[in-house]
Structure 1
């Protein structure tokens, strides 16, 4: 695999950060939460985070959400399943998700 393809593959693994009240509280403990590709494993997620953000990862925990039923008016549907990765960085590293922090 060429370097450009490898970098694009790593970028495709990390979809976007999940920002909720609970995940922003975890930022104090140096734990970041990202939605990732469902097919990726912990080793690929760790490599992607380390290369994209130039940090050292201590631990990666993953979970796959169950589809939830959502009602809009009289229509019922299901929310898609997604894979969430909780990434704990080593103490001296930070990821700047917000511009003011």
Structure 2
């Protein structure tokens, strides 16, 4: 089972990093306890709070020669992790 898929590095999430909050895309079956343990082990920080949300995939439609093709982007699960004050997760250290 894959717990952490990737960190979410967007403009909105980068602004939250200053407050000690970090966002990750996680596996659909991962729960808050598993996410907390995995992040503490992987990054060596103390996690205070984990908030999870499921984002419904958007409906996409395009016109082709064969007609209208409809589909849906995949549903994803996000986790916003609050770390202890003074702890920092550096996503760019391995680059």
Question: Which has a greater percent of helix?
Answer: 1
Partner of 1:6: none
Partner of 1:4: none
Partner of 1:88: 82
Larger radius of gyration: 2
Give the Cα separation in 1 of the matches to 2:7 and 2:45.
16
Selected match of 2:47 from 46, 50, 57:
57
Matched, 1:76 2:70: yes
Q: Give the count of matched residue pairs.
A: 89
TM norm structure 2: 0.85
Give the Cα separation in 1 of the matches to 2:90 and 2:72.
33
Tell me the C-alpha RMSD between the 2 structures: 1.4
For structure 2, list consecutive stretches of 5 or more residues without a partner in the other structure. none
Question: Which has a greater percent of strand?
Answer: 2
TM norm structure 1: 0.81
